[in-house]
Structure 1
Amino acid sequence: MSEFLSDGDELFAASCVNSYAATYPWWETLLGAPPSFKATPTEAVWEVAPHRWIVLEQRPERAGNATHTLYVTDLDARVAAISARGIEPSDTEVYGDVRKVVYRDPEGNEIGFGGSPV
């Protein structure tokens, strides 16, 4: 199977919310840093890997319906770091020999971190 994205292509995955002001602090805490840039006064963008971006955007008509999963090699360390910043997982799922730790923002958007079990 060929790659869908080529060198130089970008991926933007958005989580839409009713209230950017109320939800932004949660995302900044979860991701552990301010956004890479703010596209508008109600849109923040974090680069989570080269050319791969998570977007928080105020779009009430689409709020609370996003589901993202990032597969990481250091799942336990990531979960521990997020917990140390004050956010606990909503759920943990296991699919064969892969774990997924799920977080939900205050408006219901889901972001999961997947990785192999210990």
Structure 2
Amino acid sequence: MADLFAGLPVTSIAASVPWYEQLFGVAPFHPNEVEAVFEADEHRYVYIEQKPSIAGHGFVTLFVDDLDTHLAAVADRGLLPESEETYDNGVRKTLFRDPDGNEIGIGGGPAAA
């Protein structure tokens, strides 16, 4: 088993952490003053790093077991995706953008009938 860390550049850690807490529903740990790490799932982390010169140019996609339940929990925390797409094979992907414009996709299997 390997741990996965996916990073996204942001303008300000202080300004970005609340938005990511809404998205992931967890508080981060801070390995230093310019990074915040969120555990998306066991051994899978998304971290944000304060890098103003490249902020907003990142993208990452996560897949979850139950997309509808996951999206409902995120909505309960105050965030809605900006778009949703369904591919020919029934896989769905939603797209969120953080305050800097980084794209965070959350996908899953077909919608429940």
Residue 42 of structure 1, CA deviation: 2.3
User: What is the alpha-carbon distance in structure 1 between the residues aligned to residue 26 and residue 4 of structure 2?
Assistant: 19
Asked if residue 47 in structure 1 is aligned to residue 39 in structure 2, the reply is yes
**Structure 1 length-normalised TM:** 0.87
Asked if residue 83 in structure 1 is aligned to residue 69 in structure 2, the reply is no
Asked if residue 64 in structure 1 is aligned to residue 67 in structure 2, the reply is no
Asked if residue 107 in structure 1 is aligned to residue 71 in structure 2, the reply is no
Regions of 4+ moved over 3 Å: none
Counterpart residue type for residue 49 of structure 1: D
Counterpart residue type for residue 104 of structure 2: I
Aligned residues: 110
Identity of aligned residues (%): 47
Counterpart residue type for residue 109 of structure 1: N
RMSD over aligned Cα, in angstroms?
1.2
User: What is the alpha-carbon distance in structure 2 between the residues aligned to residue 72 and residue 103 of structure 1?
Assistant: 15
Counterpart residue type for residue 41 of structure 1: E
Gaps of 5+ in 2: none
- Residue 4 of structure 1 corresponds to which residue in structure 2? none
Gaps of 5+ in 1: 1-6
What secondary structure, in the 3-state scheme, does the structure 2 residue paired with 1:33 have? coil
